[in-house]
Amino acid sequence: MEFNLKSGLPEKQRSACVVVGVYEPRRLSEAAKRIDKVSQRHLSSILRRGDLEGKPGQTLLLYNVPGTVADRILLVGCGHERDLDDNQYRKIITEAIRTLHETGSMEAVCYLSDLNVHGHNIAWRIRQAIETANSAMYIFDQLKTQKESMRRPLRKIVFNVALRRELPIAEQASYEARKIADSVKFAKDLCNLPSNYCTPSYLADKAKDLCLLYDHFSCEILTQSDLEKEGLNALLAVSSGSEQPPKLIILKYLNGKQDAAPIVLVGKGVTFDSGGISIKPAKQMEEMKFDMCGAAAVLGTISAAAELQLPLNIIAIVPAVENLPSGKAVKPGDIITSLSGQTIEIINTDAEGRLILCDALTYAERYKPEIVIDVATLTGACIVALGKHAHGLMSNYHPLTTELLKAGKFSGDRAWELPLWEDYQIQLDSHFADVANVGGRDAGSITAACFLSRFTKKYHWAHLDIAGTAYLNQEKEKGATGRPVPLLTQYLINRSHHEIAVEKNGED
Ligand code: BES
Ligand code: MN
Ligand code: ZN
Protein backbone atom coordinates (compact mmCIF):
# COMPACT_ATOMS: atom_id res chain seq x y z
CA MET A 1 0.00 0.00 0.00
CA GLU A 2 1.09 3.52 -0.76
CA PHE A 3 1.12 6.27 1.85
CA ASN A 4 1.41 10.00 1.34
CA LEU A 5 1.12 13.11 3.43
CA LYS A 6 -0.34 16.49 2.68
CA SER A 7 -1.66 19.60 4.30
CA GLY A 8 -4.99 20.67 2.83
CA LEU A 9 -8.66 21.41 3.44
CA PRO A 10 -11.07 18.46 3.58
CA GLU A 11 -13.71 20.08 1.38
CA LYS A 12 -11.11 20.67 -1.35
CA GLN A 13 -9.96 17.04 -1.73
CA ARG A 14 -10.70 15.44 -5.10
CA SER A 15 -10.57 11.89 -3.87
CA ALA A 16 -12.57 8.67 -3.81
CA CYS A 17 -13.13 9.26 -0.11
CA VAL A 18 -12.42 11.80 2.62
CA VAL A 19 -12.27 10.32 6.11
CA VAL A 20 -13.19 12.48 9.11
CA GLY A 21 -13.84 11.77 12.78
CA VAL A 22 -16.96 12.21 14.91
CA TYR A 23 -16.59 12.21 18.68
CA GLU A 24 -19.15 10.85 21.09
CA PRO A 25 -21.81 12.11 21.69
CA ARG A 26 -22.37 13.28 18.10
CA ARG A 27 -19.62 15.91 18.17
CA LEU A 28 -17.81 16.85 15.00
CA SER A 29 -13.99 16.85 14.78
CA GLU A 30 -12.30 19.91 13.22
CA ALA A 31 -12.23 18.39 9.73
CA ALA A 32 -15.85 17.24 10.06
CA LYS A 33 -16.84 20.76 11.10
CA ARG A 34 -15.43 22.17 7.88
CA ILE A 35 -17.36 19.69 5.78
CA ASP A 36 -20.45 20.44 7.82
CA LYS A 37 -20.04 24.12 7.08
CA VAL A 38 -19.61 23.83 3.32
CA SER A 39 -22.47 21.33 3.09
CA GLN A 40 -24.91 23.58 4.93
CA ARG A 41 -25.03 21.44 8.07
CA HIS A 42 -25.45 18.17 6.18
CA LEU A 43 -23.43 16.23 8.76
CA SER A 44 -25.18 17.90 11.71
CA SER A 45 -28.56 16.93 10.37
CA ILE A 46 -27.50 13.30 9.90
CA LEU A 47 -26.13 13.14 13.42
CA ARG A 48 -29.25 14.76 14.82
CA ARG A 49 -31.30 11.97 13.26
CA GLY A 50 -29.20 9.55 15.32
CA ASP A 51 -27.43 7.64 12.54
CA LEU A 52 -24.03 7.88 14.23
CA GLU A 53 -23.39 8.30 17.93
CA GLY A 54 -19.59 8.51 17.53
CA LYS A 55 -18.76 5.33 19.42
CA PRO A 56 -15.17 4.20 18.75
CA GLY A 57 -14.92 2.37 15.43
CA GLN A 58 -18.50 3.12 14.28
CA THR A 59 -18.59 4.14 10.62
CA LEU A 60 -21.03 5.83 8.26
CA LEU A 61 -20.37 6.25 4.55
CA LEU A 62 -21.98 9.24 2.82
CA TYR A 63 -22.32 9.95 -0.89
CA ASN A 64 -22.89 13.22 -2.74
CA VAL A 65 -22.24 15.48 0.21
CA PRO A 66 -23.01 19.03 -0.98
CA GLY A 67 -20.14 21.48 -1.23
CA THR A 68 -17.44 18.80 -1.37
CA VAL A 69 -15.52 17.44 -4.37
CA ALA A 70 -14.87 13.90 -3.08
CA ASP A 71 -16.93 10.89 -4.20
CA ARG A 72 -17.59 9.87 -0.61
CA ILE A 73 -17.23 11.08 2.95
CA LEU A 74 -16.53 8.43 5.57
CA LEU A 75 -17.49 9.38 9.11
CA VAL A 76 -15.63 7.42 11.78
CA GLY A 77 -16.69 7.31 15.43
CA CYS A 78 -13.85 8.31 17.75
CA GLY A 79 -15.43 7.87 21.19
CA HIS A 80 -15.24 10.59 23.81
CA GLU A 81 -12.48 13.07 22.99
CA ARG A 82 -11.08 12.88 26.52
CA ASP A 83 -10.70 9.08 26.18
CA LEU A 84 -8.74 9.21 22.94
CA ASP A 85 -5.63 7.27 23.91
CA ASP A 86 -3.16 5.09 21.97
CA ASN A 87 -5.36 2.01 21.75
CA GLN A 88 -8.47 3.99 20.85
CA TYR A 89 -6.56 5.76 18.06
CA ARG A 90 -5.33 2.48 16.60
CA LYS A 91 -8.83 1.03 16.75
CA ILE A 92 -10.29 4.01 14.90
CA ILE A 93 -7.64 3.81 12.18
CA THR A 94 -8.17 0.06 11.80
CA GLU A 95 -11.94 0.42 11.36
CA ALA A 96 -11.53 3.26 8.89
CA ILE A 97 -9.06 1.31 6.75
CA ARG A 98 -11.17 -1.85 6.74
CA THR A 99 -14.28 0.09 5.77
CA LEU A 100 -12.46 1.86 2.93
CA HIS A 101 -11.11 -1.42 1.66
CA GLU A 102 -14.51 -3.09 1.69
CA THR A 103 -16.52 -0.26 0.19
CA GLY A 104 -14.69 0.32 -3.07
CA SER A 105 -12.55 3.39 -2.39
CA MET A 106 -9.20 2.71 -4.00
CA GLU A 107 -7.66 5.78 -2.45
CA ALA A 108 -8.61 8.17 0.32
CA VAL A 109 -7.56 11.30 2.18
CA CYS A 110 -7.69 10.68 5.89
CA TYR A 111 -8.06 13.42 8.53
CA LEU A 112 -7.97 11.07 11.52
CA SER A 113 -4.24 11.84 11.83
CA ASP A 114 -5.26 15.33 13.03
CA LEU A 115 -7.15 14.01 16.05
CA ASN A 116 -5.82 15.02 19.40
CA VAL A 117 -4.38 11.82 20.93
CA HIS A 118 -3.31 12.25 24.57
CA GLY A 119 0.35 13.01 24.98
CA HIS A 120 1.31 12.51 21.34
CA ASN A 121 2.48 14.77 18.54
CA ILE A 122 1.96 14.58 14.80
CA ALA A 123 5.06 12.41 14.28
CA TRP A 124 3.67 9.73 16.58
CA ARG A 125 0.19 9.94 15.04
CA ILE A 126 1.56 9.48 11.52
CA ARG A 127 3.84 6.62 12.63
CA GLN A 128 1.00 4.78 14.30
CA ALA A 129 -1.51 5.49 11.55
CA ILE A 130 0.73 4.00 8.87
CA GLU A 131 1.80 1.00 10.93
CA THR A 132 -1.79 0.32 11.99
CA ALA A 133 -3.12 0.71 8.44
CA ASN A 134 -0.55 -1.80 7.21
CA SER A 135 -1.53 -4.27 9.92
CA ALA A 136 -5.22 -3.84 9.15
CA MET A 137 -4.59 -4.76 5.51
CA TYR A 138 -2.33 -7.74 6.23
CA ILE A 139 -3.34 -11.14 4.88
CA PHE A 140 -1.38 -14.37 4.63
CA ASP A 141 -2.57 -16.20 1.53
CA GLN A 142 0.70 -17.62 0.16
CA LEU A 143 -0.65 -21.14 0.57
CA LYS A 144 -4.19 -20.62 -0.69
CA THR A 145 -4.77 -21.56 -4.29
CA GLN A 146 -7.86 -19.33 -4.47
CA LYS A 147 -6.79 -15.86 -3.42
CA GLU A 148 -9.56 -13.58 -2.27
CA SER A 149 -9.08 -10.79 -4.76
CA MET A 150 -10.92 -7.54 -4.23
CA ARG A 151 -12.42 -5.89 -7.25
CA ARG A 152 -11.62 -2.44 -5.89
CA PRO A 153 -8.96 -2.77 -3.21
CA LEU A 154 -7.64 0.17 -1.19
CA ARG A 155 -4.30 1.13 -2.75
CA LYS A 156 -3.34 4.52 -1.42
CA ILE A 157 -3.95 6.64 1.67
CA VAL A 158 -3.02 10.26 2.12
CA PHE A 159 -2.85 11.36 5.74
CA ASN A 160 -3.43 14.98 6.49
CA VAL A 161 -1.02 17.08 8.53
CA ALA A 162 -2.91 20.08 9.89
CA LEU A 163 0.05 22.44 10.15
CA ARG A 164 2.15 22.85 7.04
CA ARG A 165 5.28 23.53 9.11
CA GLU A 166 4.93 20.08 10.68
CA LEU A 167 5.22 18.32 7.32
CA PRO A 168 8.99 17.64 7.64
CA ILE A 169 8.73 15.80 10.96
CA ALA A 170 5.64 14.00 9.69
CA GLU A 171 7.60 12.92 6.59
CA GLN A 172 10.38 11.51 8.75
CA ALA A 173 7.76 9.63 10.82
CA SER A 174 6.13 8.31 7.67
CA TYR A 175 9.49 7.07 6.40
CA GLU A 176 10.22 5.23 9.65
CA ALA A 177 6.70 3.82 9.79
CA ARG A 178 6.90 2.34 6.30
CA LYS A 179 10.21 0.66 7.07
CA ILE A 180 8.95 -0.72 10.36
CA ALA A 181 5.74 -1.91 8.75
CA ASP A 182 7.73 -3.75 6.07
CA SER A 183 9.77 -5.50 8.72
CA VAL A 184 6.66 -6.40 10.70
CA LYS A 185 5.22 -7.95 7.54
CA PHE A 186 8.47 -9.81 6.90
CA ALA A 187 8.31 -11.25 10.43
CA LYS A 188 4.61 -12.12 10.18
CA ASP A 189 5.07 -13.96 6.88
CA LEU A 190 7.96 -15.95 8.29
CA CYS A 191 6.05 -16.84 11.47
CA ASN A 192 2.85 -17.81 9.67
CA LEU A 193 4.67 -20.14 7.30
CA PRO A 194 4.21 -23.69 8.64
CA SER A 195 7.07 -25.91 9.73
CA ASN A 196 7.06 -28.08 6.61
CA TYR A 197 8.13 -24.95 4.72
CA CYS A 198 9.85 -22.98 7.45
CA THR A 199 12.64 -25.32 8.60
CA PRO A 200 15.95 -24.35 10.22
CA SER A 201 17.52 -24.46 6.73
CA TYR A 202 14.80 -22.17 5.41
CA LEU A 203 15.52 -19.63 8.17
CA ALA A 204 19.20 -19.80 7.26
CA ASP A 205 18.33 -19.14 3.60
CA LYS A 206 16.22 -16.13 4.62
CA ALA A 207 19.18 -14.72 6.53
CA LYS A 208 21.39 -15.21 3.48
CA ASP A 209 18.80 -13.40 1.34
CA LEU A 210 18.90 -10.39 3.70
CA CYS A 211 22.64 -10.42 3.42
CA LEU A 212 22.48 -10.00 -0.35
CA LEU A 213 19.82 -7.33 -0.08
CA TYR A 214 21.58 -4.79 2.14
CA ASP A 215 24.89 -3.03 2.57
CA HIS A 216 26.97 -3.56 5.71
CA PHE A 217 25.60 -7.08 6.12
CA SER A 218 27.50 -10.32 6.48
CA CYS A 219 26.19 -13.75 7.28
CA GLU A 220 27.59 -16.94 8.73
CA ILE A 221 25.72 -20.23 9.11
CA LEU A 222 27.03 -22.90 11.47
CA THR A 223 25.97 -26.41 10.47
CA GLN A 224 25.61 -29.58 12.56
CA SER A 225 29.30 -30.46 12.28
CA ASP A 226 30.39 -26.89 13.15
CA LEU A 227 28.13 -26.98 16.18
CA GLU A 228 29.57 -30.32 17.27
CA LYS A 229 33.12 -28.98 16.93
CA GLU A 230 32.26 -25.84 18.90
CA GLY A 231 30.40 -27.81 21.57
CA LEU A 232 26.88 -26.34 21.46
CA ASN A 233 25.61 -29.55 23.00
CA ALA A 234 22.48 -28.09 24.58
CA LEU A 235 21.33 -26.88 21.17
CA LEU A 236 22.28 -30.21 19.57
CA ALA A 237 20.39 -32.16 22.24
CA VAL A 238 17.15 -30.41 21.29
CA SER A 239 17.73 -31.03 17.61
CA SER A 240 18.70 -34.69 18.01
CA GLY A 241 15.18 -36.11 17.49
CA SER A 242 14.63 -34.31 14.19
CA GLU A 243 15.56 -35.17 10.61
CA GLN A 244 16.02 -31.46 9.95
CA PRO A 245 19.62 -30.35 10.41
CA PRO A 246 20.11 -27.59 13.01
CA LYS A 247 21.62 -24.22 12.13
CA LEU A 248 23.16 -21.40 14.08
CA ILE A 249 22.53 -18.28 12.04
CA ILE A 250 24.73 -15.24 12.59
CA LEU A 251 23.84 -12.09 10.74
CA LYS A 252 25.94 -8.98 11.22
CA TYR A 253 24.98 -5.43 10.37
CA LEU A 254 28.03 -3.30 11.02
CA ASN A 255 27.32 0.35 10.32
CA GLY A 256 28.51 1.91 13.58
CA LYS A 257 31.94 3.07 14.69
CA GLN A 258 34.49 0.38 14.04
CA ASP A 259 35.37 -0.03 17.71
CA ALA A 260 31.80 0.25 19.03
CA ALA A 261 30.69 -2.88 20.91
CA PRO A 262 27.71 -4.47 19.14
CA ILE A 263 24.13 -4.89 20.25
CA VAL A 264 23.38 -8.60 19.96
CA LEU A 265 19.83 -9.83 19.33
CA VAL A 266 19.20 -13.53 19.94
CA GLY A 267 15.96 -15.08 18.65
CA LYS A 268 14.52 -18.49 19.53
CA GLY A 269 14.13 -20.40 16.28
CA VAL A 270 12.30 -23.62 17.10
CA THR A 271 10.56 -24.18 13.79
CA PHE A 272 8.25 -26.72 15.40
CA ASP A 273 7.96 -27.60 19.08
CA SER A 274 6.22 -30.93 19.64
CA GLY A 275 7.68 -31.05 23.14
CA GLY A 276 10.00 -33.89 22.13
CA ILE A 277 9.82 -37.04 24.28
CA SER A 278 7.92 -34.94 26.88
CA ILE A 279 5.36 -34.62 24.11
CA LYS A 280 2.67 -31.93 24.19
CA PRO A 281 -1.06 -32.67 24.10
CA ALA A 282 -2.55 -32.65 20.57
CA LYS A 283 -4.87 -29.73 21.27
CA GLN A 284 -3.52 -26.55 19.63
CA MET A 285 -0.20 -28.22 18.91
CA GLU A 286 -0.35 -26.69 15.42
CA GLU A 287 0.38 -23.35 17.11
CA MET A 288 3.89 -24.58 17.82
CA LYS A 289 4.90 -23.62 14.29
CA PHE A 290 5.04 -20.15 15.88
CA ASP A 291 7.89 -21.20 18.14
CA MET A 292 10.32 -19.41 15.84
CA CYS A 293 8.69 -15.98 16.22
CA GLY A 294 11.68 -14.76 18.24
CA ALA A 295 13.93 -15.64 15.30
CA ALA A 296 11.63 -13.87 12.84
CA ALA A 297 11.55 -10.79 15.08
CA VAL A 298 15.32 -10.42 15.30
CA LEU A 299 15.72 -10.94 11.54
CA GLY A 300 12.94 -8.40 10.95
CA THR A 301 14.50 -5.93 13.37
CA ILE A 302 18.00 -6.11 11.92
CA SER A 303 16.59 -5.55 8.43
CA ALA A 304 14.61 -2.54 9.71
CA ALA A 305 17.87 -1.18 11.14
CA ALA A 306 19.50 -1.65 7.75
CA GLU A 307 16.59 -0.04 5.90
CA LEU A 308 16.80 2.93 8.25
CA GLN A 309 20.60 2.92 7.90
CA LEU A 310 21.02 3.24 11.66
CA PRO A 311 24.61 4.02 12.62
CA LEU A 312 24.95 0.97 14.88
CA ASN A 313 26.70 -2.38 15.05
CA ILE A 314 24.08 -5.10 15.43
CA ILE A 315 24.46 -8.87 15.39
CA ALA A 316 21.49 -11.24 15.15
CA ILE A 317 22.03 -14.79 16.39
CA VAL A 318 19.38 -17.39 15.68
CA PRO A 319 19.65 -20.92 17.02
CA ALA A 320 17.33 -22.82 14.66
CA VAL A 321 16.13 -26.35 15.40
CA GLU A 322 13.07 -28.58 15.34
CA ASN A 323 11.98 -30.31 18.56
CA LEU A 324 10.63 -33.79 17.80
CA PRO A 325 10.54 -37.18 19.52
CA SER A 326 12.33 -40.14 17.93
CA GLY A 327 14.71 -42.95 18.77
CA LYS A 328 17.52 -40.44 18.58
CA ALA A 329 15.83 -37.77 20.68
CA VAL A 330 17.18 -36.52 23.98
CA LYS A 331 15.34 -38.08 26.94
CA PRO A 332 14.20 -36.79 30.34
CA GLY A 333 17.00 -37.31 32.82
CA ASP A 334 19.74 -36.97 30.22
CA ILE A 335 22.60 -34.71 31.23
CA ILE A 336 24.49 -32.64 28.67
CA THR A 337 27.43 -30.27 28.88
CA SER A 338 26.50 -26.87 27.47
CA LEU A 339 28.89 -24.61 25.56
CA SER A 340 29.50 -22.68 28.79
CA GLY A 341 30.76 -25.87 30.45
CA GLN A 342 27.83 -25.99 32.87
CA THR A 343 26.07 -29.36 32.94
CA ILE A 344 22.31 -29.42 32.50
CA GLU A 345 19.87 -32.12 33.57
CA ILE A 346 17.09 -32.17 31.00
CA ILE A 347 14.09 -32.95 33.20
CA ASN A 348 11.58 -31.96 30.54
CA THR A 349 12.39 -32.00 26.82
CA ASP A 350 9.60 -29.47 26.27
CA ALA A 351 11.67 -26.81 28.02
CA GLU A 352 13.83 -26.73 24.88
CA GLY A 353 13.89 -22.99 24.20
CA ARG A 354 16.20 -22.25 27.11
CA LEU A 355 18.52 -25.05 25.96
CA ILE A 356 19.11 -23.65 22.50
CA LEU A 357 19.23 -20.11 23.88
CA CYS A 358 21.78 -20.85 26.59
CA ASP A 359 24.30 -21.99 23.99
CA ALA A 360 23.51 -19.07 21.69
CA LEU A 361 23.92 -16.67 24.63
CA THR A 362 27.28 -18.18 25.50
CA TYR A 363 28.28 -17.97 21.86
CA ALA A 364 27.41 -14.24 21.95
CA GLU A 365 30.22 -13.62 24.45
CA ARG A 366 32.80 -13.76 21.68
CA TYR A 367 31.45 -10.54 20.18
CA LYS A 368 32.11 -8.63 23.41
CA PRO A 369 28.63 -7.14 23.22
CA GLU A 370 27.53 -3.93 24.82
CA ILE A 371 24.00 -5.29 25.16
CA VAL A 372 22.38 -8.66 24.49
CA ILE A 373 18.62 -9.01 24.11
CA ASP A 374 17.01 -12.39 23.58
CA VAL A 375 13.51 -12.82 22.23
CA ALA A 376 11.64 -16.08 22.69
CA THR A 377 8.24 -17.74 22.81
CA LEU A 378 9.59 -19.29 25.96
CA THR A 379 6.85 -20.13 28.46
CA GLY A 380 3.12 -20.80 28.54
CA ALA A 381 3.32 -19.31 32.02
CA CYS A 382 3.96 -15.89 30.47
CA ILE A 383 0.54 -16.04 28.80
CA VAL A 384 -1.00 -16.88 32.18
CA ALA A 385 0.80 -13.91 33.78
CA LEU A 386 0.38 -11.18 31.16
CA GLY A 387 -2.07 -12.48 28.57
CA LYS A 388 -1.69 -11.41 24.97
CA HIS A 389 -0.95 -7.75 25.66
CA ALA A 390 2.55 -7.37 27.06
CA HIS A 391 5.84 -9.17 26.54
CA GLY A 392 7.43 -10.46 29.73
CA LEU A 393 10.65 -8.51 30.33
CA MET A 394 13.46 -9.64 32.62
CA SER A 395 16.93 -8.16 32.75
CA ASN A 396 20.17 -8.08 34.72
CA TYR A 397 20.69 -4.38 33.94
CA HIS A 398 18.18 -1.81 35.10
CA PRO A 399 18.94 0.98 32.57
CA LEU A 400 18.25 -1.47 29.76
CA THR A 401 14.89 -2.38 31.32
CA THR A 402 13.98 1.30 31.40
CA GLU A 403 14.94 1.82 27.76
CA LEU A 404 13.02 -1.22 26.55
CA LEU A 405 9.90 -0.32 28.53
CA LYS A 406 10.06 3.17 27.05
CA ALA A 407 10.49 1.92 23.47
CA GLY A 408 7.59 -0.47 23.99
CA LYS A 409 5.33 2.24 25.29
CA PHE A 410 6.13 4.62 22.45
CA SER A 411 5.71 2.02 19.73
CA GLY A 412 2.52 0.55 21.18
CA ASP A 413 4.33 -2.79 21.51
CA ARG A 414 4.46 -2.93 25.25
CA ALA A 415 6.52 -5.01 27.65
CA TRP A 416 6.09 -5.45 31.40
CA GLU A 417 8.81 -6.27 33.86
CA LEU A 418 8.84 -9.43 35.99
CA PRO A 419 11.35 -9.81 38.82
CA LEU A 420 14.55 -11.71 38.21
CA TRP A 421 15.46 -12.20 41.85
CA GLU A 422 18.05 -14.62 43.19
CA ASP A 423 15.28 -16.07 45.37
CA TYR A 424 13.95 -18.05 42.42
CA GLN A 425 17.25 -19.65 41.45
CA ILE A 426 17.01 -22.57 43.92
CA GLN A 427 14.04 -23.90 41.97
CA LEU A 428 16.59 -24.91 39.31
CA ASP A 429 18.74 -27.03 41.64
CA SER A 430 19.50 -30.45 40.20
CA HIS A 431 20.46 -33.53 42.14
CA PHE A 432 22.73 -34.78 39.37
CA ALA A 433 23.95 -31.78 37.36
CA ASP A 434 24.83 -28.09 37.78
CA VAL A 435 21.34 -26.99 36.85
CA ALA A 436 17.96 -28.47 35.87
CA ASN A 437 16.15 -27.19 32.81
CA VAL A 438 12.83 -26.70 34.63
CA GLY A 439 11.95 -25.06 37.94
CA GLY A 440 8.57 -26.51 38.84
CA ARG A 441 5.12 -25.00 38.58
CA ASP A 442 5.66 -21.69 40.40
CA ALA A 443 6.78 -18.60 38.46
CA GLY A 444 7.48 -20.51 35.25
CA SER A 445 8.48 -17.46 33.20
CA ILE A 446 10.82 -16.21 35.89
CA THR A 447 12.58 -19.53 36.42
CA ALA A 448 13.05 -19.82 32.66
CA ALA A 449 14.75 -16.41 32.69
CA CYS A 450 16.72 -17.44 35.80
CA PHE A 451 18.02 -20.39 33.82
CA LEU A 452 19.16 -18.06 31.01
CA SER A 453 20.69 -15.62 33.50
CA ARG A 454 23.27 -18.27 34.40
CA PHE A 455 24.64 -17.91 30.88
CA THR A 456 24.59 -14.11 30.60
CA LYS A 457 26.80 -13.06 33.48
CA LYS A 458 29.45 -11.48 31.26
CA TYR A 459 27.30 -8.74 29.73
CA HIS A 460 24.24 -6.54 30.08
CA TRP A 461 21.26 -8.59 29.05
CA ALA A 462 17.48 -8.52 28.71
CA HIS A 463 15.05 -11.29 27.93
CA LEU A 464 11.70 -10.80 26.23
CA ASP A 465 9.23 -13.67 26.65
CA ILE A 466 6.84 -13.29 23.71
CA ALA A 467 4.83 -16.51 24.15
CA GLY A 468 1.63 -14.50 24.56
CA THR A 469 2.30 -11.64 22.18
CA ALA A 470 3.89 -13.25 19.12
CA TYR A 471 0.65 -14.56 17.66
CA LEU A 472 -3.12 -14.45 18.14
CA ASN A 473 -5.39 -17.45 18.08
CA GLN A 474 -8.88 -16.01 18.31
CA GLU A 475 -11.58 -16.64 15.77
CA LYS A 476 -11.50 -12.99 14.65
CA GLU A 477 -7.76 -12.48 14.66
CA LYS A 478 -5.45 -15.37 13.96
CA GLY A 479 -1.77 -15.53 13.17
CA ALA A 480 1.51 -13.78 13.82
CA THR A 481 1.62 -10.21 15.12
CA GLY A 482 5.15 -9.32 14.07
CA ARG A 483 5.87 -8.27 17.65
CA PRO A 484 8.31 -7.24 19.08
CA VAL A 485 9.73 -5.77 15.86
CA PRO A 486 8.23 -2.32 16.66
CA LEU A 487 9.63 -2.31 20.20
CA LEU A 488 13.11 -3.46 19.20
CA THR A 489 13.34 -1.15 16.21
CA GLN A 490 12.27 1.79 18.37
CA TYR A 491 14.90 0.83 20.91
CA LEU A 492 17.53 0.88 18.14
CA ILE A 493 16.25 4.19 16.75
CA ASN A 494 16.52 5.69 20.25
CA ARG A 495 20.01 4.26 20.60
CA SER A 496 21.12 5.77 17.31
CA HIS A 497 19.66 9.16 18.24
CA HIS A 498 21.91 8.93 21.24
CA GLU A 499 24.86 8.07 19.00
CA ILE A 500 24.15 11.05 16.77
CA ALA A 501 23.71 13.40 19.76
CA VAL A 502 27.05 12.27 21.17
CA GLU A 503 28.67 12.89 17.80
CA LYS A 504 27.24 16.40 17.57
CA ASN A 505 28.34 17.31 21.08
CA GLY A 506 31.83 16.14 20.27
CA GLU A 507 31.84 13.72 23.17
CA ASP A 508 33.69 10.48 23.13
N1 BES B 1 7.26 -23.03 23.13
C2 BES B 1 6.82 -23.35 24.43
C3 BES B 1 6.16 -22.17 25.13
C4 BES B 1 4.84 -21.76 24.59
C5 BES B 1 3.68 -22.34 25.06
C6 BES B 1 4.74 -20.75 23.66
C7 BES B 1 2.45 -21.93 24.56
C8 BES B 1 3.52 -20.35 23.17
C9 BES B 1 2.38 -20.93 23.62
C10 BES B 1 8.01 -23.82 25.28
O11 BES B 1 9.00 -24.47 24.61
C12 BES B 1 7.47 -24.77 26.28
O13 BES B 1 7.01 -25.80 25.91
N14 BES B 1 7.52 -24.38 27.54
C15 BES B 1 7.02 -25.18 28.60
C16 BES B 1 8.01 -25.14 29.73
C17 BES B 1 7.75 -26.15 30.80
C18 BES B 1 8.00 -27.54 30.29
C19 BES B 1 8.64 -25.84 31.97
C20 BES B 1 5.67 -24.62 29.02
O21 BES B 1 5.51 -23.39 29.01
O22 BES B 1 4.79 -25.40 29.33
MN1 MN C 1 8.61 -26.56 24.44
ZN1 ZN D 1 9.21 -24.02 22.60
Residue 492 domain-assigned (yes or no): yes
Q: Tell me the average pLDDT across 422-447.
A: 98
Residue 96 domain-assigned (yes or no): yes
- Whether 323 is in the pocket of ligand 1, judged by its Cβ within 6 Å, is no
Residue 467's pLDDT is what? 98
- Whether 381 is in the pocket of ligand 1, judged by its Cβ within 6 Å, is yes
Strand, coil or helix: what is 485?
helix
The CATH number of the domain holding residue 21 is 3.40.220.10
- Whether 321 is in the pocket of ligand 1, judged by its Cβ within 6 Å, is no
| pLDDT tens figures, 237-283 | 999 999 999 999 999 999 999 999 999 999 999 999 999 999 999 99
Would you say the C-alpha torsion 220, 223, 226, 230 has a positive or negative sign?
A: positive
Same domain, 291 and 222: yes
Catalytic residue, candidates 280, 388, 409, 458: 280
Q: What is the residue with the minimal CA distance to atom 16 of ligand 1?
A: 351
Residue 25 burial by Cβ neighbours in a 10 Å radius (0-12, 13-18, 19+)? exposed
CA distance 261 to 244: 34
* Residue 234 to residues 204, 231, 375, Cα–Cα distance (Å): 19, 8, 18
Strand, coil or helix: what is 113?
helix
Same domain, 123 and 206: no
Q: Tell me the average pLDDT across 130-138.
A: 97
Q: Tell me the average pLDDT across 358-386.
A: 98
C-alpha 297 – ligand 3 centre gap (Å): 15
Secondary element (H or E) of residue 167: helix 167-192
Please say if 354 is a catalytic residue: yes
> Band of the pLDDT at 372, cuts 50, 70, 90?
very high
| pLDDT tens figures, 299-321 | 999 999 999 999 999 999 999 99
| 3-state DSSP of 377-405 | CCCHHHHHHHCCCCEEEEECCHHHHHHHH
From the alpha carbon of 348, which atom of ligand 1 is closest?
Answer: 18
Residue 397 domain-assigned (yes or no): yes
- Whether 380 is in the pocket of ligand 1, judged by its Cβ within 6 Å, is yes
Residue 506's pLDDT is what? 57
CA distance 366 to 19: 53
Which one of 103, 137, 171 terminates a domain? 137
Residue 152's pLDDT is what? 87
CA distance 317 to 227: 14
Which one of 82, 114, 137 terminates a domain? 137
Same domain, 411 and 263: yes
Same domain, 79 and 21: yes
Mean pLDDT (the chain, rounded): 97
- Whether 465 is in the pocket of ligand 1, judged by its Cβ within 6 Å, is no
> Band of the pLDDT at 500, cuts 50, 70, 90?
confident
Secondary element (H or E) of residue 36: helix 30-38
C-alpha 269 – ligand 3 centre gap (Å): 9
Q: Which domain holds residue 110?
A: 2-137
Percent of the chain with pLDDT over 90: 96
The CATH number of the domain holding residue 446 is 3.40.630.10
Mind giving me the DSSP string for 328-365? TS--TT-EEE-TTS-EEE-S-TT--HHHHHHHHHHHHG
- Number of folded domains that form the chain: 2
pLDDT at 494 over 90: yes
Please say if 483 is a catalytic residue: no
Residue 418 domain-assigned (yes or no): yes
pLDDT at 329 over 90: yes
pLDDT at 498 over 90: no
C-alpha 285 – ligand 3 centre gap (Å): 11
Q: Tell me the average pLDDT across 46-72.
A: 96
Q: What is the residue with the minimal CA distance to atom 14 of ligand 1?
A: 379
Same domain, 236 and 365: yes
Residue 177's pLDDT is what? 98
Identify whether the C-beta of residue 300 lies closer than 8 Å to the C-beta of residue 184.
yes
Percent of the chain with pLDDT over 70: 99
Residue 69 domain-assigned (yes or no): yes
Residues 6+ apart with CB under 8 A from 7: 160, 161, 162, 163, 164, 167
pLDDT at 47 over 90: yes
- Whether 352 is in the pocket of ligand 1, judged by its Cβ within 6 Å, is yes
Same domain, 301 and 431: yes
* Residue 109 to residues 37, 92, 166, 197, Cα–Cα distance (Å): 19, 15, 17, 40
Strand, coil or helix: what is 192?
helix
Same domain, 249 and 303: yes
| Ligand closest in space to the Cα of 443 | 1
Residue 415 domain-assigned (yes or no): yes
Same domain, 231 and 125: no
- Whether 285 is in the pocket of ligand 1, judged by its Cβ within 6 Å, is no
Same domain, 213 and 125: no
Same domain, 341 and 436: yes
| pLDDT tens figures, 195-221 | 999 999 999 999 999 999 999 999 999
> Band of the pLDDT at 162, cuts 50, 70, 90?
very high
Mutate to test the pocket of ligand 1, among 379, 386, 438, 464 (most ligand atoms within 8 A of CB): 379
Neighbours of 377 (CB within 10 A): 29
> Band of the pLDDT at 505, cuts 50, 70, 90?
low
Closest CA to 78 of 49, 40, 124, 118: 118
- Whether 291 is in the pocket of ligand 1, judged by its Cβ within 6 Å, is yes
Residue 383 domain-assigned (yes or no): yes
Residue 112 domain-assigned (yes or no): yes
| Ligand closest in space to the Cα of 437 | 1
Residue 422's pLDDT is what? 98
Same domain, 99 and 187: no
Same domain, 188 and 92: no
C-alpha 393 – ligand 3 centre gap (Å): 17
| pLDDT tens figures, 28-39 | 999 999 999 999
pLDDT at 507 over 60: no
| Ligand closest in space to the Cα of 285 | 1
Residue 254's pLDDT is what? 98
